[in-house]
Amino acid sequence: MDQSDAPLMAASLEALGDRYNGMAAALFDRFIADHPHYAPAFLNPEAARERMTRETLEAMLGLAAGEWWVDDAVTNFIDLHHNYADFTPHDYAAWFALVIETMAKRAGADWPAGASDAWQRQSDELVAKVATVSRNQEVPVRA
């Protein structure tokens, strides 16, 4: 696996620095504004925001670094979210794109050249992995 994106992605997080503060809430609120039909799926949005954001960043960085646990993390994303709604690979792609866009905007001129492309490559790989995971058919989707 090509791990050349990992250093640039790590550098971009350093460039983001303290501008990360408050990002999770802004991301989540924007995602729900763009996908209001998912609002009822999150019974406690305050608890989900930070976790979703951090786990997204960790999975993308882990994938870039060739970490062994990424496939399990993707399966866990699917299983967990399936308890609440039937999120599609497109929904994950929209979330990942929003994360990348928001980091770049917050970092501004400090965002390293090529960082968005590096994050997007990892996003594309994660979405491809999401598309291959069989959903747990024993867990019904909440109405």
Q: Domain holding 47: CATH number?
A: 1.10.490
Residue 143 forms part of a structural domain: no
Please report the pLDDT score of residue 135 as a whole number.
Answer: 58
Residue range 35-45: mean pLDDT, rounded = 87
Identify whether the C-beta of residue 39 lies closer than 8 Å to the C-beta of residue 28. Answer: no
pLDDT over threshold 60, residue 138: no
pLDDT tens profile 54-63 = 999 999 999 9
Which residue type, as a one-letter code, is found at position 134? S
Residue 137 forms part of a structural domain: no
pLDDT over threshold 80, residue 3: no
Residue 138 forms part of a structural domain: no
Residue range 18-33: mean pLDDT, rounded = 93
Residue 139 forms part of a structural domain: no
Residue 57 forms part of a structural domain: yes
* 82: containing domain: 5-132
Identify whether the C-beta of residue 106 lies closer than 8 Å to the C-beta of residue 2. Answer: no
Residue 126 forms part of a structural domain: yes
Residue 69 forms part of a structural domain: yes
* Number of separate domains in the chain: 1
pLDDT over threshold 60, residue 143: no
Distance of CA 50 to CAs 20, 29, 109, 126, Å?
A: 11, 12, 25, 19
Residue 140 forms part of a structural domain: no
- Give the SS3 label for residue 37: helix
pLDDT tens profile 90-136 = 888 999 999 999 999 999 999 999 999 999 999 999 998 888 876 54
